Amino acid sequence: MLSKEDNTLLTQVSRGTPMGNLLREYWMPILFSDELTAGGRTMKGKLLGEDLVAFRDSSGRPGLIEANCPHRGAPLYFGRNENDGIRCVYHGWMYDVTGACVDMPNEPAHSNFKDKVKLNAYKLRERNGLIWAYLGPRKTPPELPDLEFNVLPPEHTLIWKNMQMTNWVQGLEGNIDSSHLSFLHTRLERDGNAEFGGGGARGLWYEDPAPRMEVTDTDFGVMYGAGRLEESDRRFWRVTQFMMPFYGLFAPIGPNECPMQWWIPLDDHTVMKWDVRWNPNRPITEEERGRLMSPDPGGFIEPTSDPYTHYRLAANMDNDYFTNWDAQGDKRYSGVPSANLQDAAVQEGMGPIVNREREHLGTADAMIIRTRRRLLEAMKALRDHGTVPPGVDDPTVYGIRSTTVVLSDAESWQSVASPLLKAFTDEKIMAADITMRTPRA
């Protein structure tokens, strides 16, 4: 459990809150590059509790600015995107991507008033089809993190996202919770079922629902090994990473696959969940793209200018996430028809911000306990001493992968997995296949 004070510190993200200040120290991937068109229409946005407008100027530079004109508060969403800036339609004041006011046509030509007005604008960078935002206090931001997927050729990566109506920490904690795989995502038919994502890849974790948890702090966050005894003296280890402040790598399902999620808080009650799969050794095939990108039943609702409609799933609490209650009897543990919706159902069902004072955490929750502590310690060190949070000034610590290995109980997963966890190497990622490794003599 957490105290009420620590739960508040952990979950509030608006400007001036300790966690909001911590998150603002980091670059955040917030948009696909192709969501903005040069000289095209603006987009309403929400990020860390702030109302914002995103656009791409006529020269192709992306901009992220406060939502309202500092003149009289008119909404810049309706602004004219012209001549490398956004012109407010109320009185014609115009701003560039840096927030500088570059034109005041309703003021005398000799006036220098425009030089005294500046709206809040955030620094953006683009890399590999993503737009990153820095909302922090530095005039010169840190470097982007060296995440492997973000420097690979685009054909090696696959990225998608959806909105979830929860606090960001609930999603992050779901990502690093190993034991729920034995329940929430379980298929009741041993060989799987096509309707429920079968094909025989049942998953080794089903044999042992109480994994041995071994957790350690790292330079970039927290790492754990979750070991499940599948046969006598043969243990299946899922080696998973939490990387500051909102990235979670989970164990690969197939060979040469690297999976990761990150959770970008729109406000205290809403988060954009991003998923990425990348293959460091070869392009992702069309078959893999089709399988991984199979949409959740119902897809997305029709988006409007309201940012809370962007990438919002049609399956939601109002329709029970399209749960098949009959399937709960003999096909799928929960009856909810996809892993993504299963996570959303339980995380949104906790309420917008879960009351962590009422929790009863056990040994299977060791990674969640340690990750909360890591975030709270970094946040308080920044608040109380100005200590730069982990990873901000060292982008190389993000060059990491997750993996799975099958070992005898006499073997150390740390030593065997260590070379497989290094990104930007030729080391192959081991798939969760108990036949792929023979215990050493």
Segment 41-58, tens digit of pLDDT: 999 999 999 999 999 999
- CATH code, residues 148-421: 3.90.380
Query: 402 with 241: CB under 8 angstroms?
Result: yes
Specify burial of residue 274 (Cβ count, 10 A radius: 0-12, 13-18, 19+): buried
Torsion, Cα 269 261 321 335, to 10 degrees, reads -140
Angle of helix 4-11 relative to helix 366-385, nearest 10 degrees, comes to 80
Query: 80 with 53: CB under 8 angstroms?
Result: no
The per-residue pLDDT for 44 is: 97
Query: 234 with 228: CB under 8 angstroms?
Result: no
Specify burial of residue 149 (Cβ count, 10 A radius: 0-12, 13-18, 19+): buried
248: three-class secondary structure by DSSP: strand
Tokens 């005398």 correspond to 108
Segment 86-137, tens digit of pLDDT: 999 999 999 999 999 999 999 999 999 999 999 999 999 999 999 999 999 9
Query: 404 with 251: CB under 8 angstroms?
Result: yes
343's tokens? 């996570």
Query: Where are the domains positioned within the chain?
Result: 28-134, 148-421
* Rounded alpha-carbon distances, angstroms, from residue 380 to 20, 49, 128, 375, 389: 12, 20, 34, 9, 10
Stretch 309-337: mean pLDDT? 88
Segment 324-382, tens digit of pLDDT: 888 887 777 888 888 889 999 999 999 999 999 999 999 999 999 999 999 999 999 99
> Residue 297: is its pLDDT beyond 60?
yes
Classify each residue of 228-249 as buried b or exposed e, where b means 16 or more C-beta atoms within 10 Å of its C-beta.
beeeeebbbbbbbbbbbbbbbb
CA–CA gap between residue 1 and residue 7 (Å, rounded): 9
DSSP H helical segments within 12-52, as ranges?
A: 18-23
Q: Which residues lie below 8 Å from residue 320, measured CB to CB, with a gap of 6+?
A: 345
253's tokens? 């399902």
Q: Which residues lie below 8 Å from residue 291, measured CB to CB, with a gap of 6+?
A: none
For the chain, how big is the Rg over CA atoms in Å? 23
Share of the chain above pLDDT 90, in %: 70
Side-chain half-sphere of 80: how many Cα atoms within 13 Å? 11
28-134 and 148-421 share one CATH topology? Answer: no
CA–CA gap between residue 417 and residue 121 (Å, rounded): 43
The per-residue pLDDT for 427 is: 67
Look at residues 13, 79, 90, 93 and name the one whose alpha carbon lies nearest to residue 46: 13
CA–CA gap between residue 29 and residue 414 (Å, rounded): 30
Look at residues 76, 78, 82 and name the one whose alpha carbon lies nearest to residue 56: 82
> Residue 226: is its pLDDT beyond 50?
yes
Q: Which residues lie below 8 Å from residue 120, measured CB to CB, with a gap of 6+?
A: 65, 66, 99
CATH among 3.20.20.100, 2.102.10.10, 3.40.50.1240, 3.40.50.720 for 28-134: 2.102.10.10
Segment 157-208, tens digit of pLDDT: 999 999 999 999 999 999 888 887 778 877 766 544 433 333 334 444 456 7
Stretch 275-299: mean pLDDT? 87
